[in-house]
Each structure stands twice: as C-alpha cells, then as structure tokens.
Structure 1
Amino acid sequence: MLPAWLAIFPPSLRTPLNKLPVSVIESLEEVRIREARPLEISYGGRFAFLTPDGSLTDEHEAGFRPNREDCRAFLEKLTDHSLYAVEEELRRGYVTVAGGHRVGLAGRTVLDGGHVRHLRDVAAFNVRIARARIGSAASVLPELLDPIARTIRHTLLVSPPQQGKTTLLRDLARAISAGEWNHPSARGWRGRKVGIVDERSEIAACERGVPTFDLGPRTDVLDACPKAEGMMMLVRSMSPEVVAVDEIGRPEDAEALREALHAGVRVLATAHASDLADVFERPVLSSLAREGMFGAYVLLSRSGSEVRHRVIGSREAEEEGLRRRRGSWNGVPRDAPRSELRSTPGDRDPGADRPEGTPGLAIKARALPLIRSPASREGGEAP
C-alpha cells in the first residue's frame, strides 16, 4: 500500500519516488525538490540523490532534475490551485498539508515596508514527512515527573532542527493524556488534561479540527493558531493541566508561558538550539531559563536513526549553559561516526534504563534532584 504522503506530489515527481525501495520509503524524512537540480532525499539519517529510474546515488550528476513545469505543478497541487488561499503560509515560507507534513518553500520574496509580504517564483521545496512514534516518550517521561504534584515539571525540549523534537513532544502529550507515566511511583496517577497549540498543524495533523495522530484521550487542540494567543485561549476556555507548544522563541511566547505558569498550568515546549549555551544566549529563552521557568531540560541529538536524550535539571542547566560548553555531543552532525559523539562525564550508558520494547530510543540521562515547582512547594496534592 502506497503511503498517503505520495499523493501530494504531481505525477511527474510521484513516479520516481514511487520506485524507491520499501525500506527507504518507510524511513523517509525529507524530500528536497530544487528546480533544475537533482532531487534529494533524506532517510534514516542518510541522504542520497534520486535517479529517474528510482534508484539512489551519491553522484549528483546522475540525479533526476525537476524542471520548471514540475515545480509549478507541485506548487499548484500544494495550494489546491489557489495561491491566494494560502497567502499567509507562503509569507511564512511553508505550507502544511494533510497528515501534518510540512513543505518548506524557497524562491523570490516580495517585500512591503521591509517585511516579507509574499513568496513568488518558488523554485525549491523541502517536504518533511511527519510520523508518529508511539512509545518514544516511554524512557523520557519518568525523568520529567513532579512526584508531589503528580504531573510533569515545566519542561523544554532542546535540539537543532530535524532531531525529533516535534515527534517526542507529540508522544509526550499522548502519554501524559493517557496516564502512561511508566514509573513505579506514578502507579495510580490518572492522565492529565492536555492542551496543544498547533500553530503549524504538525503536532496533531488535524483535519476539520480532528487530530489524525493519536494524542491521547484527554487532549484538546487549537489548530493553526498563533502560540501566544492560543495558550491564553486554552487556559481560559479548556482548563488544561498541561499545555504543549512547539518552537517557542518570541517575546509574546514568553509572556504567554509566564501567564500559564501563574495559572497553575504545566508547560511542555520545544526550542531550536544547539545546546544549553545557545539557550542562555538567545534573549527570550535566556530570560525564561534564568527565571527558573523550566524544571527540566531534554537535550536531543541523533546519529543516523538513533535518537539520544539527556535530561537535566534547572540548576545544572544554568551552570552548563553559562560555561558555554561549545562543541558538545549535541552539535555533532547526524551522519558522524558514533566515535565522534562525545558524552558528558557521569552520564549513564545509552539504553541502561530503557524499558523493554521501547523502539529506537537510547538514553543519556543524569539522576535529577527533585525540583519542586511553586505549586509543589505549597505542599498540596494535585487533583
């Protein structure tokens, strides 16, 4: 059975992609289409160029080269033949299609008052294939628990792009909603009400407001809504116990996170950063981190198809971030040999605490001190 995402391509592009081996299709992460340049794919932490007959090669000269008509047909299919209907998405440089797949766009920008108003002459596309990884949060969630409040700490997931932040965020939301805490001390805890602000329609992949990914039984989603406004809408109208958002970094995001904190809502968020030093250098993230907003940080890195995680507490994160430890394992390219992945002294062996049956997940984690949130310090038990 052909994957649903193939349907977003016009026939001229779908034909060579449909000839890929099943093993490649199942691990496909990105399809990069550039006018008059070889079509490139990324799969399982590797990349290759696609030839006209559907085979893979490292030689870009042999790659299939989409022409202008191919790119025009693809753009028309993405926009349902109406550029006006997706004008806002084009201004932001991406379109999200059914299934949560995000298509990045590059071309000539049209400016208005020094700001991007529109994108025209689109000549490059980056199709990011969205997949749910059920169970990917199983080894991470136990490290994020606040035992007294019977919920999670305020948590920030940190990594460069394409390291698995959104995938992990999605499964954490599902597990929290379903009460799959995966820790002996959490037996008997119920699932929490989760609110997701899905600004890019990637986390839930909603169709007519209904998530197509499994987000758990107690999750509500605001689809295609700006994060800052959406967080406040959820707090006021849906009484979430945990709010999940992707890719924070703007001042209005920080203000909304603070408001959620003061409303007694736990926050689960992601941010682009190479390491903790980057977190403490970015103005918005630095202000939140120095305020002690986050009780736990999850640092993600990939080598090939393996995702590695390191979970550390707030105080340790600040100490590490301010030491400006550049060149850590978190910034190593994904296709680097494993010998180049440098660990931090005191880390446990990867997979030492990995629950049986957890798919494709290795852990690099330090023992966390219990960091009690303001709600915990009051000594009350969460409902």
Structure 2
Amino acid sequence: METILAVLPKSISTEFEKIPAHEAQRAEELRIRVGRPLEVIIGGRPTFLPYLVSAADAEQLLGHLSRFSMYTLEEELKRGYVTIAGGHRVGLAGKVILENGMVKAIREVASFNIRIAKQKIGSADKLLPFLYDREWHHTMIIGAPQTGKTTLLRDIARMISSGSAKDSLLPHKVGIVDERSEIAGCVNGVPQLQFGPRVDILDSCPKAEGMMMLIRSMSPDVLVADEIGRAEDTSAVLEAVNAGIKLMITTHGRSLAEVKRRPHIGKILEQDIFSRYILLSIQDGERFCQVLDSSGNMIHSGKSVMACLRSSEL
C-alpha cells in the first residue's frame, strides 16, 4: 500500500488512510473520478468516501504516474493503463485522441481505477492434486470479474516454476504472456511479484503474438495467459497444444456452459483440449471453487479448496 499512497495526491491519501486498517487491507480497487466522491471497492462492494475529487487532484496524480513527463507515458496512454511498482495497475479514462482510426492517446484524464495487486502465496497449493497427475493438465480458470482468476493463475505459475519437494514435483519452465502487466506486475521488464526460478515473462505483449514468440524462443513446458477470448487467440492455443506445451489460462464467464456459447472460446473447447476447468464464484461475500474434468463432471467442490483464497480478498 505504501507504493499506492506514494503516487496519490496528499488530499486523497489522507482520506484513504482514514479507512480502518482491517478494511484497507481488504481493498481491491480505488476509483478516482473528477467531480465525484472517492470510491473504494472492499470485498466486491463499493464504499464512498466523503471527498469530491478535483481536477487538480487528477492532474497531480497523472503527474506522479508520469514522473511529470507525459512523454514517458506515451505507450501507456495508448493502452489505457499504467503499471506501477508493486504490480498495481492504474486504469485511465478521458478524452481519446485518434490517429488514422487508431487510439493514439488519452488526454484530459478524468477517471483512474487503481487495481491493488495482491499475491496470495499458496492459494493454488490445495488444487495441486487436481491439476497435476504425472504431468500438468491443460487447465482453464473460469469466473466473473473479481472472483480471483488472476490471483489463482499467478500462484499456479509460481507453483509450477518452483516445484515442490514435499510432493516430489520438479520445477517446470513457465512462459507467461502478461498482456496487461497484471500477472507478474512487471516494471521495466522485472516482475514485482514472487515467482519461482524457471519463469520467463513477455510483458505488455498481445497474447496471441506472445504465445507464439515464447513457443519459438523459450521452449516453455507450460504457457500461462490471462483472459483468452479473441479470435487470434484460438490459433495460438492450438499451436501450443500441438507443440506439446501445457496451458494454464483464464477466461470470463459464470459457468462452463456460458463460456461454450462464446464464439471464439467455443471453437477452442470443441477441440477437447482442457482436462480441467476451475470455476470461481462469490456467494454472500464468500469465495467458492469447483473443479470439473474434461467432460464437465464435478470432481471437487466446496470451501476446502477455497479456504486459503477466502482468508483475504483477492
């Protein structure tokens, strides 16, 4: 949190520090909108603080993010987000500038969404018996936003790269395509979050291109990517499978049936690639997990798998 507080205008950080410590630790997002009250997402629910954000606040925050040189944010302003030390991602919204029909930059930034990166070491440990059986299963993690998909994917990558002496599991080579700098939270190419020794990361790289690049150049045993779903992702996924590489990916959805109805994901699932599906959900503020086999049959469900995930907000 020190990293986040350091980039906030003093007026905003002061308000944030008024939140009780046990609540602040559970914060997932901090939303800053000019002319509107500060919003903090805690446990998936919005809390509004009694402070109206000014244009001066927005200008000062953008100055801190760019270190008062907008030129340094040129690429980030095309993508609509900035990743800061600690792996926290700051989404941006405002007036979009186009060039030849393409987004050139965002100017007059009036909305910021600071997504607080949290690494829950060990959150994937209880899933190991379902994900590994002499070799890693092709696995798809399915869930709605803020159900913990990226947190779980991140820890699976750590677990694969680190191995486990206790479980007689050797470390495997992991290639991560981190299109939005969310999985590893790289700053200047260096991951800000903890991984094992056998991980290679392509930061800020489109997933389809990144997967092909890693296949050709880094020979990973397992490929990790977040939020698969575009048409170009399909061929990259099939290429990886045909090259004998295992996949650990996430996609948005509330059920396997819903995901199958998505046109591009549906084409991938028709190939019967995945032997494990992990469904994440939130019910009455609690996080739950179901593990399905290749046929969609439930092989585990309940709080036992999610116990470590529920101990803090993801």
The equivalent residue for 2:150 is 166
Per-residue CA distance 1:262-298 (angstroms, 9 max, x = gap) = 1111010111223223311222111001111222111
The equivalent residue for 1:119 is 106
Q: 1:130 aligns with which of 117, 120, 123?
A: 117
Shift of 1:44: 2.6
1:1-383 matches, cutoff 5 A: 3-50=2-49, 63-145=50-132, 147=133, 150-180=134-164, 187-303=167-283, 306-316=286-296, 350-352=302-304, 358=308, 360=310
- Larger radius of gyration, structure 1 or 2? 1
For 1:131 and 1:199, the matched residues in 2 are separated by 18
Is the strand fraction higher in 1 or 2? 2
State the percentage of identical aligned residues: 47
Determine if contact 1:261/1:267 at 8 Å carries over to the other structure: yes
1:352 to 1:38, Cα distance in 2 relative to 1, 3 A: closer
Normalised by the length of structure 1, the TM-score is 0.75
AA partner of residue 143 (structure 1): F
1:112 to 1:354, Cα distance in 2 relative to 1, 3 A: closer
For 1:196 and 1:349, the matched residues in 2 are separated by 28
Hey, which bits of structure 1, 4+ residues long, moved more than 4 A?
346-349, 352-355
Secondary structure class of the residue paired with 1:64? strand
For 2:264 and 2:36, the matched residues in 1 are separated by 38
1:361 to 1:254, Cα distance in 2 relative to 1, 3 A: farther
Determine if contact 2:227/2:252 at 8 Å carries over to the other structure: yes
AA partner of residue 46 (structure 1): R
Shift of 1:114: 4.3
Secondary structure class of the residue paired with 1:316? coil
Determine if contact 1:141/1:181 at 8 Å carries over to the other structure: no
1:170 to 1:304, Cα distance in 2 relative to 1, 3 A: farther
1:275 to 1:90, Cα distance in 2 relative to 1, 3 A: farther
Per-residue CA distance 1:5-41 (angstroms, 9 max, x = gap) = 2112122222211232211221111101111111010
Shift of 1:354: 7.0
Determine if contact 1:35/1:66 at 8 Å carries over to the other structure: yes
Secondary structure class of the residue paired with 1:221? strand
Q: Which runs of 5+ in 1 are unaligned?
A: 51-62, 318-345, 363-383
For 1:253 and 1:25, the matched residues in 2 are separated by 37
Secondary structure class of the residue paired with 1:162? coil
Greater shift after overlay, 224-233 or 284-293?
Answer: 224-233
Shift of 1:231: 1.5
Secondary structure class of the residue paired with 1:139? helix
Determine if contact 1:100/1:130 at 8 Å carries over to the other structure: yes
Determine if contact 1:45/1:303 at 8 Å carries over to the other structure: no
Aligned residues, how many?
312
For 1:293 and 1:6, the matched residues in 2 are separated by 44
Q: Which runs of 5+ in 2 are unaligned?
A: none
1:21 to 1:114, Cα distance in 2 relative to 1, 3 A: same
AA partner of residue 285 (structure 1): I
Per-residue CA distance 1:83-142 (angstroms, 9 max, x = gap) = 333233223322222211111122222334544332222111111000100111122232
1:222 to 1:47, Cα distance in 2 relative to 1, 3 A: same
Determine if contact 1:175/1:181 at 8 Å carries over to the other structure: no
Shift of 1:208: 3.5
1:258 to 1:349, Cα distance in 2 relative to 1, 3 A: closer
AA partner of residue 22 (structure 2): S
Shift of 1:80: 2.4
Determine if contact 1:307/1:361 at 8 Å carries over to the other structure: no
* CA RMSD after TM alignment: 2.4
For 1:204 and 1:305, the matched residues in 2 are separated by 26
1:230 to 1:110, Cα distance in 2 relative to 1, 3 A: same
AA partner of residue 48 (structure 1): T
